[in-house]
Amino acid sequence: MQVIRHERNKGKGQAIFTGWVATTAPFLLLLDADLHELTSEHILALMTPVLDHRADMTLGLFWGGHLFTDLSSWGMPFLTGQRGLRSEILKHISHEAAAGYGFEVALTIAASQHGFHKQIVPLKGVWHPPSEFHRGGWNGLIWRFRMYGQIIRGLVIATRQRHPKVNTIISTILKP
């Protein structure tokens, strides 16, 4: 095992890219650090379809843990941080789109654009606390809006880089 640290926090996307460069592993497991009730069975469920070549990437969605995280997980599956994947998918991700909280949406878009097969995996009983829990009510709410802004930014960048017509439309809309 090797611990890799950045001198300052560069965000999740950069941390994953740094780890990926340091490994030759053909498969990766990505998990949020604040998960509750995660078991080895959940990890096997995430990785088995990828290891058995039935999927290129799995998306772990919360099920039966807490209503709030279940709803957000199933309502926006492309934002899940729980994934098993073939490491080669990372070479298709826009580093600009993956900055901050844009990593998951950039990963999902890259996988779709390059024809990688995705599979949903329910993670029964797993959940994570919302931002408001970690950072306090008001600060957590501000953090949540900042997070959504970074997600939207990542979505716009990842989509714009692959679709020139969308680029023109977005440029027109965002023009000062």
Neighbouring CB atoms inside 10 A of 44's CB total 12
pTM of the model: 0.80
Ranges of residues in the chain whose predicted pLDDT is under 50: 173-176
**pLDDT confidence of residue 12:** 86
d(CA 120, CA 56): 11
Decide: 120 and 59 in contact? Cβ < 8 Å: yes
**pLDDT confidence of residue 174:** 46
**pLDDT confidence of residue 67:** 81
User: What tokens appear for 116 in the block?
Assistant: 């990688």
**CATH 3.40.50.2000 at 12-174, yes or no:** no
Nearest to 17 by CA among 106, 80, 78: 106
Would you list the domain boundaries of the chain?
12-174
DSSP string, 50-104: HHTTS-SEEEEEEESS-HHHHHHHHHSGGG-S-EEEEGGGGGGS-TTTTTGGGHH
**pLDDT confidence of residue 176:** 42
**∠91-155-169 over CA atoms, to 5°?**
115
Nearest to 81 by CA among 32, 15, 134, 122: 32
**pLDDT confidence of residue 41:** 98
